[in-house]
């Protein structure tokens, strides 16, 4: 699968790109079937009236791994980022058709690690569902990227992301300081079977659903950064588990 150079430029400058047609309808249906058949009693599963989420998704629903990392996705990642990246986080989000769930503008500033320990440049420690998260040095965040796999058509009516173009180039950018006179907000429509690739420092938000249609997304974060000393990525999937980029 050969990519237009526009995609690489968009990731560097606006900070995101959308590539449709990565998954066939059959592949999407197979992924959804495995998710629906999964045991949702684990504490990594979260279900409310507005949201169903699975943290550590690729570990909790391992049968989806080869479906998610099909030949097209592997080719996209290799062409845009090379071969030295690995998975460091995966989450499944299901926003129901009746959801009023709204997420304001934010950057993805934390990574998941295996322990809490004092390291220079690592701050704002939190724990969620027995998993440690920490804000790493900004160089790590600047180098990471996220792939969002869309299992439904997504637009302004069912919570498609809105982003502030080029905000990932401005370091830590607090939402309350957004200069709306000079910033450009863009809606990211993605077709079912398409992907959105974005930098974690890109300011983004998700709106409410008003058309009673689902918005199901698999969110996967990648890094090529090694952590200091004996600190480990909590969800790292490397060569021993079938690295998609190896």
Beta-strand pair 111-113/131-135: antiparallel
Geometric angle at alpha carbon 164, from 162 and 169, rounded to 5°: 140
Give the ranges where the chain is alpha helix by DSSP (H): 5-12, 25-37, 57-60, 65-68, 71-81, 138-143
For residues 192 and 149, what is the distance between their CA atoms, to the nearest angstrom? 9
Tens digit of each residue's pLDDT (9 = 90 or more) over 11-26: 999 999 999 999 999 9
- Residue in 205, 194, 197 with CA at minimum distance from that of residue 221: 197
Quick one: the chain helix, strand, coil %, rounded to 5? Answer: 25, 30, 45
d(CA 239, CA 87): 11
Token code pair at residue 130? 């027995």
Token pair for residue 227? 């952590």
Residues 6 or more apart in contact with residue 227 via CB below 8 angstroms: 113, 136, 233
Lowest mean pLDDT among 41-55, 184-198, 208-222: 41-55
Local confidence band at 144 (pLDDT 50, 70, 90 cut-offs): very high
Whether residue 163 contacts residue 203, with contact meaning beta carbons closer than 8 Å, is answered with: yes
Question: Do residues 11 and 165 touch, judged by C-beta distance below 8 A?
Answer: no
Of 68-82, 136-150, 207-221, give the lowest mean pLDDT range.
207-221
Give me the torsion for CA of 199, 206, 180, 146, rounded to 10°. 0
CATH topology for 5-240 is: Jelly Rolls (2.60.120)
Q: Report residue 201 as tokens.
A: 């420092």
pLDDT tens digits, residue range 70-120? 999 999 999 999 999 999 999 998 877 656 667 899 999 999 999 998 889
What is the average per-residue pLDDT within 65-70? 96
Among 137, 185, 149, which residue's Cα sits nearest to residue 165?
A: 185
């Amino acid at each position: 699968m050969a990519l237009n150079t526009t995609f690489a430029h968009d990731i560097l400058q606006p900070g995101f790109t959308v590539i449709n047609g990565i998954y066939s309808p059959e592949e999407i249906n197979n992924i959804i079937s495995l998710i629906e058949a999964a045991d949702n009693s684990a504490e990594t599963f979260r279900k409310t009236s507005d949201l169903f989420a699975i943290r550590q998704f690729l570990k909790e629903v391992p049968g989806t791994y080869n479906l998610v990392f099909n030949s097209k996705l592997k080719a996209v990642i290799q062409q845009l980022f090379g071969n030295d990246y690995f998975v460091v986080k995966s989450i499944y989000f299901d926003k129901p058709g009746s959801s009023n769930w709204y997420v304001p503008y934010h950057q993805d500033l934390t990574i998941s690690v295996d322990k809490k320990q004092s390291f220079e440049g690592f701050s704002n420690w939190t724990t969620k569902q027995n998993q440690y998260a920490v804000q790493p040095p900004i160089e790590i965040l600047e180098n990471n990227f996220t792939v969002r796999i869309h299992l439904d058509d997504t637009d302004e009516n069912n919570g498609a992301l809105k982003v502030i173009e080029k905000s990932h180039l401005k370091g830590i950018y607090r939402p309350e300081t957004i200069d709306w006179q000079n910033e450009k907000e863009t809606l990211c429509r993605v077709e079912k079977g398409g992907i959105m690739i974005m930098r974690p420092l890109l300011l983004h938000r998700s709106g409410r659903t008003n058309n009673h249609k689902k918005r199901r997304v698999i969110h996967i974060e990648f890094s090529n950064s090694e952590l200091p000393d004996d600190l480990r990525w909590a969800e790292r999937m490397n060569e021993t588990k079938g690295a998609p980029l190896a």
